[in-house]
């Protein structure tokens, strides 16, 4: 009896200790899986992925995610330990329900990672189900999950704990790989290509500013805009410009259209080849060609005696193209690159990113949306400076609007729009119109508007247009205001805008100088 009496507390203590360590194992496994998307972005990127990066993930990001996993695991472990000691079995069921509800975070991370192989788990789902269908699906999943938690919380929590325990070794994998990457990290050469020195005497006779609005749709702007939406700046611009109504883009997306614009050759496909190269397959060509070795509009303009400037978005053109006197570029806002730069910013940003996507956030605007706002304002500011600098004979400005994510609220005039991935496009169109007016007024104030040829166009139409009204149109806007032009000129023949490089060079050479000559040039070349 004495032996049994002495053994009982020891056995209970051992059982309690075992349960405590089991809780910690479940907590750290759960937390590690919550950061699955972050781990994937930091550890599994390939050489091709570095093409779109300002720089690859480094020790700062890796140290932050390891700290986050440990701290949150300790917090969850402490809460569960406290609940086990203080709560009755009846009240502890609410802890089990909260645990099951929290599983939405790692499940969302799994969805984000799986979307790389199954794109319809992300924004393309809107094309299939539409905004209402996606909302109905989300509500159905939420209601079904809530009912399952209420009715089967005890059994489900046991199953979930067992599954999480199985994934415990994954913590060793992620932490081990992170420590290895930190130890062997070397900053790669992501510096821009050397710029050309300014020409001492830049030609002042001709000057072109080419402004590209990303994903600008012709139909939704000029044919079927949202009811009540007006574009006063575009209407004013159209009264003194050549306006093409049948302009077709060089390609269906930015990675194809921009190289086609800059080389003047139709592009069939592109492949990212590390941070400093893009491999292009031109239409009709059997082999790929490095973009960096192709003649481009800037090198051609340089040969004509013009200084050139590029203010770009998405493509890291400053690392690739030659012939530029000035070049700056900004990367596309994603969850990976919008969480901050310092350790402390990453620490907070990584955790916040667990509760949002690029387009949606429980906090209202996601980090990627805020990054889009900062990027737009930075590009616009630099673009205006370039457009008003008469030393540049050719300037190209690539603005990230009306491309998603949409942050501008046309009703308030502020960047406060939240969680509107589809119909927010119309707000971005309103911002586009405001931007056209802002650029114009700055050039008028600087005295450069009248003596500059300004082209406003796009790289492709809105790819989610069918989710708005079931329609899709391949056309893009093409508005060309020639220097000193004061009267409108309509152009209704169909042409592919890949011709723009040759047209701009013809303008710089003085071969085309008024809108009628532009129309004639397009007629002669549009069937090429």
Please indicate, yes or no, whether residues 425 and 516 belong to a single structural domain of this protein.
yes
Please indicate, yes or no, whether residues 228 and 145 belong to a single structural domain of this protein.
no
Instruction: Give the CATH number of the domain where residue 481 resides.
Output: 3.40.720.10
Please indicate, yes or no, whether residues 330 and 387 belong to a single structural domain of this protein.
yes
Residue 248's pLDDT band, with cuts at 50, 70 and 90, is very high
Contact by Cβ (8 Å): 359, 425: no
Please indicate, yes or no, whether residues 146 and 240 belong to a single structural domain of this protein.
no
Q: What is the DSSP letter of 414?
A: B
Please indicate, yes or no, whether residues 240 and 124 belong to a single structural domain of this protein.
no
328 within some domain: yes
Please indicate, yes or no, whether residues 485 and 373 belong to a single structural domain of this protein.
yes
Measured CA to CA, the distance from residue 67 to residue 315 in angstroms comes to 33
Measured CA to CA, the distance from residue 487 to residue 90 in angstroms comes to 80
Domain count, the chain: 2
166 within some domain: yes
Measured CA to CA, the distance from residue 141 to residue 171 in angstroms comes to 29
Please indicate, yes or no, whether residues 303 and 175 belong to a single structural domain of this protein.
no
Q: Is the pLDDT of residue 164 over 70?
A: yes
By DSSP bridging, strand 307-313 and strand 392-399 are parallel
Please indicate, yes or no, whether residues 220 and 177 belong to a single structural domain of this protein.
no
The pLDDT of residue 120? 59
Taking only the tens place, the pLDDT of each residue in 170-220 is: 999 999 999 999 999 887 778 899 999 999 876 667 899 999 999 999 999
Best CA proximity match to 99, nearest among 39, 51, 34: 34
278 within some domain: no
Contact by Cβ (8 Å): 491, 522: yes
Please indicate, yes or no, whether residues 138 and 224 belong to a single structural domain of this protein.
no
202 within some domain: no
Contact by Cβ (8 Å): 509, 261: no
Of 148, 183, 218, the residue that ends a domain is 183
Residue 27, token pair as written in the block: 């907590």
Place of tokens 């973009």: 291
Contacts for 287 with CB less than 8 Å, ≥ 6 apart = 281
273 within some domain: no
Give the number of residues written for the chain: 528
The pLDDT of residue 403? 97
Please indicate, yes or no, whether residues 177 and 217 belong to a single structural domain of this protein.
no
251 within some domain: yes
Contact by Cβ (8 Å): 188, 487: no
Measured CA to CA, the distance from residue 69 to residue 195 in angstroms comes to 43
> SS3 for 393?
strand
Please indicate, yes or no, whether residues 117 and 240 belong to a single structural domain of this protein.
no
Measured CA to CA, the distance from residue 437 to residue 448 in angstroms comes to 14
Best CA proximity match to 165, nearest among 309, 18, 297, 282: 18
287 within some domain: no
Handedness of CA 59, 61, 66, 71 (dihedral sign): positive
Cβ neighbour number for residue 281 with a 10 Å cutoff:
16
Residue 285's pLDDT band, with cuts at 50, 70 and 90, is very high
Find the domain containing 148 and state its range: 2-183
Q: Is the pLDDT of residue 13 over 50?
A: no
Q: Is the pLDDT of residue 1 over 50?
A: no
Please indicate, yes or no, whether residues 179 and 212 belong to a single structural domain of this protein.
no
Q: E strand or H helix at 260, and its extent?
A: helix 254-263
Of 149, 168, 183, the residue that ends a domain is 183
Q: Is the pLDDT of residue 128 over 70?
A: no
pTM of the predicted model, to two decimals? 0.90
Residue range 25-36: mean pLDDT, rounded: 95
């Amino acid at each position: 009896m004495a032996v049994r009496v002495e053994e009982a507390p020891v056995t209970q203590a051992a059982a309690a200790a075992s349960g405590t360590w089991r809780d910690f194992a479940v907590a750290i496994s759960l937390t590690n899986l919550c950061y699955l998307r972050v781990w994937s972005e930091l550890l599994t990127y390939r050489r091709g992925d570095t093409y779109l990066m300002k720089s690859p993930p480094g020790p700062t990001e890796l140290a932050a995610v390891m700290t986050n996993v440990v701290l949150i695991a300790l917090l969850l472990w402490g809460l569960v330990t406290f609940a086990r000691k203080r709560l009755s079995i009846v009240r502890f069921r609410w802890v089990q329900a909260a645990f099951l509800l929290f599983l939405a975070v790692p499940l969302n991370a799994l969805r984000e990672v799986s979307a790389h192989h199954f794109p319809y788990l992300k924004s393309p789902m809107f094309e299939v189900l539409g905004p209402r269908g996606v909302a109905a699906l989300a509500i159905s999943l939420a209601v079904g999950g809530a009912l399952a938690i209420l009715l089967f919380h005890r059994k489900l929590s046991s199953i979930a704990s067992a599954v999480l325990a199985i994934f415990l070794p994954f913590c060793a994998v992620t932490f081990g790989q992170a420590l290895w990457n930190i130890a062997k990290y070397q900053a790669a050469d992501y510096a821009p290509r050397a710029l050309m020195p300014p020409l001492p005497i830049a030609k002042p006779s001709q000057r072109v500013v080419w402004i590209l609005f990303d994903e600008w749709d012709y139909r939704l702007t000029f044919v079927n805009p949202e009811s009540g939406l007006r574009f006063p700046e575009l209407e004013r611009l159209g009264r003194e410009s050549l306006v093409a109504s049948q302009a077709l883009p060089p390609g269906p997306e930015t990675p194809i259209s921009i190289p086609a614009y800059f080389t003047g050759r139709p592009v069939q496909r592109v492949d990212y080849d590390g941070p400093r190269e893009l491999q292009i397959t031109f239409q009709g060509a059997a082999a790929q060609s490095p973009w960096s070795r192709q003649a481009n509009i800037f090198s051609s303009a340089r040969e004509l005696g013009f200084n050139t400037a590029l203010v770009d978005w998405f493509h890291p053109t400053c690392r690739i193209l030659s012939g530029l006197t000035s070049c700056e570029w900004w990367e596309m806002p994603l969850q990976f690159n919008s969480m901050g730069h310092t350790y402390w910013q990453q620490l907070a940003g990584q955790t916040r990113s667990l509760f949002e996507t690029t387009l949606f956030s429980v906090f209202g605007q996601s980090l990627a949306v805020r990054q889009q706002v900062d990027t737009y304002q930075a590009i616009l500011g630099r673009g205006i400076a370039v457009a008003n600098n008469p030393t540049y004979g050719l300037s190209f400005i690539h603005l990230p609007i009306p491309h998603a994510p949409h942050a501008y609220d046309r009703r308030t005039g502020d960047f406060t729009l939240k969680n509107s991935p589809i119909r927010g496009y119309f707000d971005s169109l309103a911002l586009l119109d405001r931007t056209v007016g802002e650029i114009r007024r700055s050039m008028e104030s600087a005295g450069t508007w009248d003596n500059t040829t300004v082209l406003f166009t796009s790289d492709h139409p809105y790819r989610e247009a069918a989710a708005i009204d079931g329609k899709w149109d391949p056309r893009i806007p093409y508005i060309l205001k020639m220097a000193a032009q004061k009267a409108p000129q309509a152009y209704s023949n169909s042409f592919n805008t890949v011709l723009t490089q040759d047209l701009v060079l013809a303008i710089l050479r003085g071969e085309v100088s008024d809108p009628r000559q532009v129309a004639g040039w397009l007629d002669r070349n549009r069937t090429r």
